[in-house]
Amino acid sequence: MTQQKILELAKQGDAQAIATLMNHQFQSKGILVKTNNQEGCLQIIFEAIEVPQQQKFANYAFTAITKLNCLLIKKLIIYGKETGKEFPVWQQEFIFSTSQPSDIKQSNEIALEKIEKPSQPFVKSVEYTQDEELINLAKNGDINAIATLIEQGFWSKVVVSPVKKSGILILTLKFSEKTNSQAALPVVIKTLNDLKPKDVKTVQVIGVRLWTEWSKYVSLVSGSYTDTTKAMYTSMAVIASIIILFFGYAHLTYKPTSSAISSPSKPSRLSLGMSKTGYELLLEGSCVIVKDIKTSDFIRLNTTLEGFKEAVKQETGYQCVLFE
pLDDT digits (tens, 9 = 90+) for 210-227: 676 788 899 999 999 999
17: pLDDT strictly greater than 80? yes
Report the distance separating Cα 31 and Cα 49, nearest Å: 8
- Does one domain contain both 54 and 93? yes
- Does one domain contain both 9 and 119? yes
Residue 16 lies in a domain: yes
Report the distance separating Cα 242 and Cα 288, nearest Å: 15
Residue 240 lies in a domain: no
Residue 259 lies in a domain: no
Q: What is the average per-residue pLDDT within 32-54? A: 90
Per-residue confidence band for 266, with pLDDT thresholds at 50, 70 and 90: low
Q: Give the pLDDT confidence of 133-187 residue by residue, as tens digits.
A: 888 899 999 999 999 888 877 766 788 999 998 889 999 988 765 555 667 888 8
Q: Give the pLDDT confidence of 298-316 residue by residue, as tens digits.
A: 777 777 788 888 888 888 8
- Does one domain contain both 29 and 11? yes
Residue 176 lies in a domain: yes
Least confident residue range of 3-7, 63-67, 120-124: 120-124
- Does one domain contain both 85 and 150? no
- Does one domain contain both 55 and 98? yes
Q: What range does the domain containing 164 cover?
A: 132-227
- Does one domain contain both 223 and 143? yes
Q: What is the pLDDT of residue 152?
A: 78
- Does one domain contain both 203 and 307? no
Q: What is the pLDDT of residue 140?
A: 93
Q: What is the pLDDT of residue 123?
A: 34
228: pLDDT strictly greater than 60? yes
Q: What is the average per-residue pLDDT within 91-105? A: 61
Among 108, 124, 140, the domain-final residue is 124
Q: What is the pLDDT of residue 19?
A: 92
Q: What is the average per-residue pLDDT within 313-322? A: 83
Cα first-last separation, the chain: 58
Q: Into how many domains does the chain fold?
A: 3
Residue 256 lies in a domain: no
Segments in the chain forming alpha helices (H)? 3-11, 15-26, 54-68, 132-139, 143-152, 184-195, 229-253, 295-300, 305-316
Report the distance separating Cα 51 and Cα 46, nearest Å: 8
Q: Which of 186, 125, 177, 119 shows the shortest CA–CA distance to 150?
A: 186
Among 73, 108, 124, the domain-final residue is 124
Q: What is the average per-residue pLDDT within 52-69? A: 88
Residue 234 lies in a domain: no
CATH code of the domain in which 58 resides: 3.30.300
- Does one domain contain both 9 and 40? yes
Per-residue confidence band for 115, with pLDDT thresholds at 50, 70 and 90: very low
- Does one domain contain both 71 and 163? no
Compute the mean pLDDT over every residue in the chain, rounded to the nearest whole number.
78
Among 101, 124, 147, the domain-final residue is 124
CB 186 within 8 A of CB 207: no
- Does one domain contain both 85 and 137? no
Residue 95 lies in a domain: yes
- Does one domain contain both 15 and 109? yes
In angstroms, the Cα distances linking 139 to 82, 286, 321 are 32, 40, 39
Residue 258 lies in a domain: no
Q: Which residue has the higher pLDDT, 203 or 302?
A: 203
The b/e string for 305-319 (b: 16+ C-beta within 10 A; e otherwise) is eeebbebbeebbebe
Q: What is the pLDDT of residue 267?
A: 61
Is the pTM above the cut of 0.95?
no
- Does one domain contain both 17 and 114? yes
